[in-house]
């Protein structure tokens, strides 16, 4: 539920179409290569994410909440054009201001459509973790895989159910004996 709350808090940044932007960076990775490399970066840091995605992250709270969030540090970046035509239009990295948090990362996508069959080709053990709820402006259906490091979720918006809209990385907390490493 925690990761869903975080994801929904960032939904305000999911609207709008990708526009040609002179700040767009180019990555030599495909979406699947980026995912594989990102999963090896846990716990997340801004340096790790910037290096993998070839982008610069800036401190920015996209939650649009009038109350300053003191629990998390928010970073955003993008857009990034991947070599397979997928565009990461926004990178949303959230790191809790508390020891032991591995970070939470959401990538909002555009460009080449990535369908459910593509996702299942890479993650055949998907579970429906967020059934569709058409009562929301940003209604989506979420499916998750549960690798050893945590949870990887794939979201499809109801208004465009055939194309992957975002994916989130929700790593398990760092164990106390691994924090000093």
pLDDT digits (tens, 9 = 90+) for 50-59: 999 999 999 9
Q: How many domains does the chain have?
A: 1
Residue 163 within a domain: yes
What is the span of the domain harbouring residue 77? 2-10+47-174
Q: Averaged over 162-169, what is the pLDDT?
A: 96
pLDDT score for 62: 60
Residue 13, pLDDT above cutoff 70 = no
Within a domain: 29? no
Q: Is residue 21 part of a domain?
A: no
Asked whether residue 181 is assigned to any structural domain, the reply reads: no
Give domain status of residue 99, yes or no: yes
User: Is residue 33 a part of any domain in this protein?
Assistant: no
Residues above pLDDT 90, as percent of the chain: 60
The answer to whether 69 and 13 have CB atoms below 8 angstroms apart is: no
């Amino acid at each position: 539920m925690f990761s869903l709350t975080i994801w929904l808090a960032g939904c305000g940044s999911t609207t709008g179409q990708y526009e040609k932007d002179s700040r767009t960076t180019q990555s030599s990775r495909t979406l699947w290569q980026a995912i594989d490399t990102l999963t090896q970066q846990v716990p997340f840091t801004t340096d790790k994410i910037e290096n993998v995605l070839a982008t610069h992250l800036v401190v920015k709270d996209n939650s649009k909440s009038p109350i300053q969030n003191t629990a998390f540090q928010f970073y955003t970046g993008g857009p990034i054009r991947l070599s397979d035509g997928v565009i990461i239009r926004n990178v949303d990295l959230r790191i809790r201001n508390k020891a032991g948090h591995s970070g939470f990362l959401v990538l909002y996508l555009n460009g080449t459509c990535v369908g459910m069959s593509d996702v299942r080709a890479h993650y055949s053990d998907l579970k429906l973790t967020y059934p569709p709820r058409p009562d929301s402006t940003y209604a989506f259906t979420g499916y998750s895989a549960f690798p050893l490091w945590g949870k990887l979720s794939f979201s499809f918006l109801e208004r465009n159910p055939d194309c992957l809209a975002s994916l989130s990385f929700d790593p398990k907390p760092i164990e106390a004996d691994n924090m000093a490493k």
